[in-house]
Copies of this chain bind each other. A is one copy, B any other.
């Protein structure tokens, strides 16, 4: 199984991208990684490290697309960038089954769309992270930012794609789908949501449970939560910001709390660490770009080796599970029904 990794994407590239790739190679002996990026920089990071050279390939791509650049322009002009070259390789190499990048989200989406193409029948590809829940199993939030203005039909496709994703990564057979809204009642929602609600309710291809309040997103009562990319992004980032704020106030309190608090924190360390790990959705990998013809995983921009490694393993798992084929089949069935 060959996975391509953007060695220049993310705040801590190339170091953490390279280290994450080496960790993944160590964990999965059937894995083959292609690092795409500046050859000199990658070789520098590899110097002195022990790894199976037969399973690590380097493809030279010296250009970086930054977060400040307009994605469409950057993808068109920076042909030697790690994102563009990596996705071209994914499109052309039949052995390559997935791509992982912690670089510019916009550029990854645009390039993936252009180089891999959209799965037939999918109106809009969407970005879907797997988030932790109180019940342990993850919830797939789809879309979390690829499409800021949506039509109701897009949301139905998000539900179908994310359900296939959920089946692929968990042992769920019929994932429970919720529609992110401002209340759990059927009549809640803005104009878009109320129309999408009807489409979701009437689709025989998903298990629609109704509206999901943002408060219940992490409850574990839903396997999939569908949202337009703007709202999904807000739900995701608000959760992230709140978790960050809580840990920050907690650490500050421990610092100021004297010896008693410090001792308490020491005794409680394994529990606190577990809470932090469980709430850190990046530790489980990245967000999958659903609806294009191969597996693309967007890792968080602040990813360190652990998240990069998790994203590579996630891409491998997704590719192995045949998520792309599952989405293709589901969307086709849904289309035939319409």
List residues of A whose CB falls within 8 A of some B CB: 68, 133-134, 145, 148-149, 180, 182-183, 185, 189-191, 193, 213-219, 228-231, 233-246, 248-250, 253-254, 257, 260-261, 263-272, 274-275, 278-279
Contact = CB atoms under 8 A, between A and B. Distances in A.
Nearest to A267: B264
Q: Taking the full assembly, how many copies of this chain does it contain? A: 2
A271 B250 contact: yes
15 contacts: A68-B185, A134-B248, A145-B182, A148-B189, A149-B190, A182-B234, A214-B234, A215-B244, A219-B241, A219-B245, A238-B239, A242-B242, A245-B279, A257-B268, A260-B267
A264 B271 contact: yes
Contacts of A265: 264, 268
A180 B215 CA distance: 18
A93 B265 CA distance: 54
A237 B188 CA distance: 14
Contacts of A235: 214, 234-235, 238
B237 A239 contact: no
Contacts of A266: 264
Contacts of A233: 182-183, 214
Contacts of A254: 268, 271
B237 A279 contact: no
Contacts of A148: 182, 189-191
A241 to B, nearest CB: 4
A245 B254 CA distance: 21
B271 A230 contact: no
A180 B233 CA distance: 11
Contacts of A228: 190
Contact of A239 (B230, B242, B264): B242
